Structure 1
Amino acid sequence: MIRRTVDLSPGARDGFDAVIDVRSPSEFALDHIPGALNLPVLDDAQRAAVGTEYVQRSKFLARRHGAALVARNIAAHLDGALGERDGSFRPLVYCWRGGQRSGAMVTVMDQVGWPVTLLEGGYQTWRRQVKAALYDTPLPHLLVLLDGPTGAGKTALLGAVAERGVQTLDLEALAAHRGSLFGAMPGGQPSQKAFETRLHDALSRLDPARPVLVEAESSKIGARVIPPSLWASMAAAPAIRLESPVAVRAARTVRDYAGFVADSSALDTALTRLPRHIGKQMVDEWRALAAGGEIEALATELIVHHYDPAYRRQGQARSRPERAVVGIGSLDDAALEAAADRIVEALDRG
């Protein structure tokens, strides 16, 4: 019997052996339910060809042609990706709106004997839930911002406090971008919808009754925009502020961005994208430092003349209570661990 559901809570999704997305690869790449497996019943070229035939030739022939393609593709999945699944396999299946494509897959799966469940409304059910959580309703979570200037070690500290049992939300990891001029990561960023999917999934797995530490960010991380409900909660959240000497921050920046700065062409291109108010002469001087391999001197210049002024301007525009100010005086692991302990203490004090 084909079951139906609209429950996409983490517990419900985790109860299935697999979440199967039968949409085309391009639809799947744009966004999909977290952890889903893409087993398309029509690939992109097939879907386009059937659609063209439906509009330009014959609806009947298009449906017949599409049915033949769907049957062959489902058979290939049964022999391939699903070939080792036994009779206890419990999948959740969805397409765009819970229509013909997922209907075809679940019909076959049901006949095989698997206890299959169809997601009513398909991907659109998931997307409506994401938008409701991130656009339409206030977040229930108790956010605390981890604030501080460039190079202070915010990302490393998020990981360190997470190891101590603190709930964290790593926006840069979810957006696949470090949030700075040099922040691009290999593989590029997810789409805006996929970023929001990652956010919603991460938030839905956190306990709203316990604090959630999140790095202070601008409203955009690379090209991705923080959704309004999360941004409003961040704007109202108290902060734990990090302090660290410029020399330590410059050394940390060079270490953390070693992969990027090793690409001299990418580094030079990034420097040409600095805001116009920096001035051509200063940018040329910084490009010369980069070309000469003086990376720590370049990092110092960027911190003093670009990042710190921007951080101070942002500080003047916001007013939030501070839970604590935590100093990090060196790059030593011991200094980072001590700072993580002080952050946990500040969160426990509330």
Structure 2
Amino acid sequence: MQRLTLTAIPDLFTLPYDEVIDVRSPSEYAEDHVPGAVNLPALDDNERARVGTVYVQDSRFLARRMGAALVARNAARHLEGYLADKPADYRPLVYCWRGGQRSGSIALILGQIGWRVGVLEGGWRAWRKLVQQALYEAPFPAPVLVLDGNTGTAKTAILNKVAALGGQVLDLEGLARHRGSLFGLEPGIEQPAQKGFESALALQMARLDPTRPVLVEAESNRIGAIRLPPGLWAAMRAAPRVEIAAPLAARAEWLTRAYADVTGNAGELAARIDALSPYQSRETIAHWQTLAQAGDFAPLAAQLMQAHYDPRYARTRLRQAGTVQQVLTTDSLSDAAQDALARRIAALLG
């Protein structure tokens, strides 16, 4: 069993292991984990609580004996399940909360099989420290170009097309699993926890080429419930901007297509319109609900942008320090028009 120390996030790309295994409980894993790690708990949430109670209220010896028995049963379950088809030369890297008993116990069992097992020194806490350093202490690692434009200008779709053309991009809404407004959460999708978002973001930042500009979509400092780290937010505010300008009708048509998952669910759509009640009059909300019930989604999208999203976006834009480098005007937001815009933006990135 080898103990391995990560000194920087890019070290994760060069580890001499086939897979990273997080042996913490499912709730710990759900909040945050090393990106790409699989969860094979040494103790589940209930078992961990039971062992902890015995440790505090009864005796350390009894708690350790109970924990050892539970870990052995869970290890057997993993060996007969997820790990059953792993070859003789399998190389797992194991970690727990601080690189202690849980990871050491699982690593010992896996090592006895003959697998070359590593344990992450310091466990998840060591990983979290690297993430915090990257996001809260170090400057953003590459020059930023912000993709701007009013709601409905297909910024996320164009961002992804720029990436497909080889441009360096950072898709913050993708990492946050949110499209950036009260309508932005896809039905049935939950946002990651803040720490989980930060781990994924730090990994993406570590992969950036610092000699090339990175395209980032204009955002506020929050995407749904997720907060952007202050260093990234400051870099975005000061960055030059390329703005997409399109007529209201084209934007409404695009939003109707892009948010078909919301408009296709009458209850979901009604709830999201109601969520705008603190900002709009009762009569306006009622009118929008009538449009939604009638299936008049393009007029609804147009009125939402005119009365709510465009004014809010304008106020946010006034707080940005970066200058508009170029305005790209388009009459359409069809796939072909988006392709053309993506090529122009990719050329700006160089």
Shorter-normalised TM-score: what interval?
A: over 0.9
The 3-state SS of whatever aligns with 2:147 is strand
Residue pairs, 1:54-65, within 5 angstroms: 54-65=55-66
- Counterpart Cα distance in 1 of 2:26 and 2:34: 14
Maintained 8 Å contact 1:19/1:93: yes
Maintained 8 Å contact 1:2/1:107: no
Cα pair distance change 1:81/1:14, threshold 3 Å: farther
- Counterpart Cα distance in 2 of 1:76 and 1:332: 51
Cα pair distance change 1:171/1:72, threshold 3 Å: same
> What letter matches 2:337 in structure 1?
A
- The superposition leaves residues 227-261 of structure 1 with CA deviations (integer Å, 9 ceiling, x where unpaired) of 11111111111111100000000000010001101
Partner of 1:119: 120
Q: TM-score, normalised by structure 2?
A: 0.95
Deviation (angstroms), 1:80:
2.1
Partner of 1:298: 300
> What letter matches 2:150 in structure 1?
P
- Counterpart Cα distance in 1 of 2:77 and 2:319: 58
The 3-state SS of whatever aligns with 2:286 is helix
- Counterpart Cα distance in 1 of 2:65 and 2:13: 34
The 3-state SS of whatever aligns with 1:276 is coil
- Counterpart Cα distance in 2 of 1:178 and 1:12: 29
Partner of 2:93: 92
The 3-state SS of whatever aligns with 2:262 is helix
Partner of 2:198: 196
The 3-state SS of whatever aligns with 1:190 is coil
Partner of 2:5: 5
Partner of 2:274: 272
Partner of 2:316: 314
The 3-state SS of whatever aligns with 2:157 is helix
Cα pair distance change 1:11/1:121, threshold 3 Å: closer
Stretches of structure 1 that go unaligned for 5 or more consecutive residues are: none
Q: TM-score, normalised by structure 1?
A: 0.95
Residue 230 of structure 2 is aligned with which of 228, 231, 234? 228
- Counterpart Cα distance in 1 of 2:6 and 2:344: 43
Residue pairs, 1:195-214, within 5 angstroms: 195-214=197-216
Moved more, 11-20 or 146-155: 11-20
Deviation (angstroms), 1:104:
0.6
Deviation (angstroms), 1:315:
2.2
- Counterpart Cα distance in 2 of 1:192 and 1:230: 15
Cα pair distance change 1:8/1:319, threshold 3 Å: closer
Partner of 2:160: 159
Partner of 1:70: 71
Partner of 2:348: 346
Deviation (angstroms), 1:10:
4.0
- Counterpart Cα distance in 2 of 1:238 and 1:293: 39
Partner of 1:240: 242
Answer yes or no: is 1:25 the counterpart of 2:15: no
Deviation (angstroms), 1:57:
2.2
Residue pairs, 1:100-139, within 5 angstroms: 100-139=101-140
- Counterpart Cα distance in 1 of 2:279 and 2:82: 55
> What letter matches 2:221 in structure 1?
S
Stretches of structure 2 that go unaligned for 5 or more consecutive residues are: none
Maintained 8 Å contact 1:150/1:307: yes
> What letter matches 2:248 in structure 1?
V
- Counterpart Cα distance in 2 of 1:115 and 1:264: 54
Task: Percent identity, please.
Answer: 50
Maintained 8 Å contact 2:6/2:12: no
Maintained 8 Å contact 2:176/2:197: yes
Partner of 2:253: 251
- Counterpart Cα distance in 2 of 1:263 and 1:229: 38
- Counterpart Cα distance in 2 of 1:5 and 1:319: 40
- The superposition leaves residues 199-249 of structure 1 with CA deviations (integer Å, 9 ceiling, x where unpaired) of 111111111111110100011000111111111111111111100000000
User: In angstroms, what is the RMSD of aligned CA positions?
Assistant: 1.5
- Counterpart Cα distance in 2 of 1:88 and 1:111: 13
- Counterpart Cα distance in 2 of 1:77 and 1:332: 49
Moved more, 110-119 or 23-32: 110-119
Moved more, 271-280 or 212-221: 271-280
- The superposition leaves residues 125-181 of structure 1 with CA deviations (integer Å, 9 ceiling, x where unpaired) of 111111111111211211110000000110110111111100111111100010111
Partner of 2:80: 79
**Aligned positions, number:** 348
Maintained 8 Å contact 2:291/2:299: yes
> What letter matches 2:24 in structure 1?
R
Moved more, 154-163 or 77-86: 77-86
Deviation (angstroms), 1:13:
4.2
- The superposition leaves residues 309-347 of structure 1 with CA deviations (integer Å, 9 ceiling, x where unpaired) of 112212222232222211221132221111111112222
The 3-state SS of whatever aligns with 1:105 is helix
Maintained 8 Å contact 1:21/1:36: yes
- Counterpart Cα distance in 1 of 2:212 and 2:13: 23
> What letter matches 1:96 in structure 2?
W
Cα pair distance change 1:109/1:309, threshold 3 Å: same
